[in-house]
Amino acid sequence: MKAGVLITGLALAASASAQIRHGHRHGHKERGDNVAYNKQVEVVTATAPNVIVYVDSDGKPISTSGAKASAYHPAPPAYTPAGKTTSAPAAPAYASPKSSSSAKAAPAYSASSSGSGSSSGQGITYSPYNADNSCKSAGQVKSDLAQISGYDLIRLYGSDCNQVANVLAACKTKLFVGVFDINNLQTESNTLIEQAKGSWDRIDTISIGNELVNGGSASVEQVVAAINTARGIFKAAGYTGSIVTVDTFVAMIANPGLCEASDYAAANCHAFFDGSKTADQAGAFVKDQAQRIASACGGKRVVITETGWPSQGETNGVAVPSKANQQTAISSLKSSFSKDIFLFSAFNDMWKTNSASTFGCEQFWGIY
């Protein structure tokens, strides 16, 4: 997990430096024969030809993508890594989006607002990897999930390690699944379809990418094109549920095209990385950002697809990692959201690498 770098030319109510500082990115991984991932920066390196033709919602080809197809170049980071600051963290500059005299006011955000045809209870994220980066077996996955209860949804990030099939077999909970690499869209989609085996009633949502715009891995246009292409792929396979892209709340607010292309606005938001919020303020902070997302996205349903608090690591301003504070933050989040929220994460991710830029807490977000 690392503090995210938002690449955008749009102005928000907050200053650009504050927005970038409060962004956030996770080091999830995906395995495959055609791509290799660096866990810390999630750079995709192609080792075999892999070209995707993107189409718009009408099926018209608009671009192609391969390992070297993108000409999107992120700007240098505008935040100071932890451990190198010379002054206390700046107070948050979050504010409600500037109003427009020509735009209609968005409906007030409500965490309990009903969704459209999708489950909308509280969920939790899960990654099936051992500390040595190997895949967990079906038996290990079943054992893990036996420890988790009280959630309506489980979020997965990819289809490697046979994870979709293993989780479907291990529990009766609905899943929020993902295509990790949009440069490998067709192959990963096919893998997901194969593992689902037609059990589309168990799949609540399919995400196309995770924090791609925030991390500079893809442009808004590339992500939107990938969503449109994915709709055709999964519709042909019999899936009729929600399709979204997930990004940080900062990227979503700055780039409403992401939520416009999605069936609902799906955003990751962590109060810990704000640096000015204590654990008991986590719920209020995330709810405020959900309101900002709803306003930026024209009142669209908002689902917070990651939020939590680390149990170990270094202090970030007034945000202190500890098991007690994690429990306090989780309680605050659950009180603020009766639904439309995914807690991060089920277990500590010891396969990840800690760094100063993530306050040494990358591995320690596990609740169980």
Give me the pLDDT at residue 50, please.
41
Separation CA 226–CA 53 (nearest Å):
9
Helix (H, G, I), strand (E, B) or coil at 365: coil
Give me the pLDDT at residue 335, please.
98
Residue 331 belongs to some domain of the structure: yes
Q: Which of 41, 36, 356, 30 is nearest to 215 (CA)?
A: 41
What pTM was estimated for this model as a whole?
Answer: 0.74
Long-range CB pairs of 136-141 (<8 Å, 24+ gap) are 136/161, 136/166, 138/162, 138/166, 138/169, 138/170, 141/166, 141/167, 141/170
Separation CA 30–CA 39 (nearest Å):
9
Give me the pLDDT at residue 27, please.
52
Give me the pLDDT at residue 121, please.
86
CA distances from 206 to 1, 169, 246, 293, 346 (A): 22, 18, 10, 20, 19
Mean pLDDT value across the chain: 78
Residue 10 belongs to some domain of the structure: no
Give me the pLDDT at residue 110, please.
52
What is the average per-residue pLDDT within 220-247?
99
Which DSSP letter does residue 84 get? Answer: -
Residue 83 belongs to some domain of the structure: no
Helix (H, G, I), strand (E, B) or coil at 316: strand
Residue 210 belongs to some domain of the structure: yes
- Beta strands 52-55 and 61-65 are antiparallel
Separation CA 92–CA 293 (nearest Å):
17
For residue range 307-326, list pLDDT tens digits in order: 999 999 999 999 999 999 99
Cα 13-219-342 angle, rounded to 5 deg: 70
Q: pLDDT over 70 for what percent of the chain?
A: 67
Give me the pLDDT at residue 58, please.
52
Residue 6 belongs to some domain of the structure: no
Q: pLDDT over 90 for what percent of the chain?
A: 67
Residue 85 belongs to some domain of the structure: no
What is the average per-residue pLDDT within 5-30?
38
Cis amide leading into 345 (omega within 30): yes
- List of residues 6+ apart from 137 with CB closer than 8 A: none
- Cβ contact 297:303 at 8 Å: no
Residue 50 belongs to some domain of the structure: yes
Domain that holds residue 139: 16-68+110-358
Kindly tell me if the per-residue pLDDT of 141 is higher than 90. yes
Give me the pLDDT at residue 38, please.
34
Amino acid identity, position 275:
G
What is the average per-residue pLDDT within 142-154?
97
Residue 263 belongs to some domain of the structure: yes
Does 306 participate in catalysis according to the annotation? yes
Q: Which two tokens stand for residue 77?
A: 């980071």
Q: What is the CATH number of the domain that holds 329?
A: 3.20.20.80
Kindly tell me if the per-residue pLDDT of 30 is higher than 50. no
Kindly tell me if the per-residue pLDDT of 76 is higher than 70. no
- Cβ contact 132:153 at 8 Å: no
Report the DSSP beta bridge partners of residue 356: none
Catalytic residue among 194, 306, 314, 362: 306
Q: Which two tokens stand for residue 242?
A: 């929600």
Kindly tell me if the per-residue pLDDT of 92 is higher than 80. no
Kindly tell me if the per-residue pLDDT of 94 is higher than 80. no
Kindly tell me if the per-residue pLDDT of 67 is higher than 80. no
For residue range 159-203, list pLDDT tens digits in order: 999 999 999 999 999 999 999 999 999 999 999 999 999 999 999
CA distances from 53 to 207, 213, 267 (A): 19, 19, 26
For residue range 344-358, list pLDDT tens digits in order: 999 999 999 999 999
Q: Which of 252, 180, 318, 177 is nearest to 10 (CA)?
A: 252
Q: Which two tokens stand for residue 239?
A: 């899936």
For residue range 247-298, list pLDDT tens digits in order: 999 999 999 999 999 999 999 999 999 999 999 999 999 999 999 999 999 9
Kindly tell me if the per-residue pLDDT of 70 is higher than 80. no
pLDDT bin (cut points 50, 70, 90) of residue 39 is very low
The number of distinct structural domains making up the chain is 1
Helix (H) or strand (E) holding 143: helix 138-146
CA distances from 214 to 129, 169, 253, 255, 352 (A): 24, 33, 11, 10, 20
What is the average per-residue pLDDT within 211-227?
99
